[in-house]
Amino acid sequence: MKKIIKNVPIMLLSVVLLSSCESNNDDIDTTNQQTNEISLKSNTQSNFDLSKNADFVKFTEEYLNNFVAYSYYQQSKLGNKAEDFKRSMNDENMSIQQVENVYTAYGLDFDVILDYQTQANNLVYNVYTSYPEFDTMSEEQASSLIFTEMGEVIGGGQITIDNHDYPAVITPSEIWYCVVEAVGLGIASTIGMKQLKKNGVKIITKALTKTLSKFAGPIGAAIMIIDFGICLSDADAD
């Protein structure tokens, strides 16, 4: 492949900017307090470094391989009708039955779609339930951390991605670029998982995947996967 994307910005965690110090004591005290808070946050993050964890590295590899395979299946069926399909799915008030009807009308097997999405949900859920540190975070914070740590794993060159029949080799960096550009935090969504954990759910079934569809199940995922697939196809063409 001619174009290799080397540096992918993953600036999703908060960045605290300190105001320049002024001469009065109140401003100095405020600056010192902010500095101490930054130090505390930095230490907390360093104690929860998932990117160095072998299980998390394995999760990242399995998750992205599943996501690329999911995208390839959808793109291979849609062909040049991807944008039409996307417009047909662009109604958040659609029922699951209506969603299934749209998939079927475009030649996609809804059971296959649910299999891919359920596998993705379970991989994230396993990470979410494996670390008690997530219990003190909101679901949005958990998603952000998982997303950022996945980027660290890829940046460290620790994983291998199956090409899934794309004609040219697509590198992990290019795949992550497309994740950042087309999907964002949705790829690591933990929305709804806190309640599932409280309810003692051990594994996410297809039925549960349907209940999570409002954010990143068949409805939300349809849009994400199309944008991701188009991005990968562009990278593949280059």
The predicted structure's pLDDT at residue 106: 94
DSSP class of 182: I
The predicted structure's pLDDT at residue 9: 33
- Tens of pLDDT along the chain (238 residues) come to 433 333 333 332 222 222 333 334 444 444 444 334 333 333 334 467 899 899 999 999 999 999 889 888 988 899 889 889 988 887 777 877 888 899 999 999 988 988 988 898 899 999 999 999 999 999 889 999 999 999 999 988 888 887 666 656 678 888 888 888 888 877 788 878 888 899 999 998 888 887 765 544 556 677 778 888 888 877 655 5
CA distance 194 to 188: 14
CA distance 34 to 17: 9
Name the CA dihedral angle for 223, 228, 233, 238, rounded to a multiple of 10 degrees: 140
Q: Three-class SS of residue 3?
A: coil
CA distance 201 to 122: 11
CA distance 64 to 67: 5
CA distance 168 to 174: 12
Q: State if pTM tops 0.85.
A: no
The predicted structure's pLDDT at residue 61: 93
CA distance 71 to 233: 10
Q: Where are the domains of the chain?
A: 18-47, 51-237
CA distance 121 to 194: 13
DSSP string covering 126-160, please? HHHHH-GGGGGS-HHHHHHHHHHHHHHHHHTT---
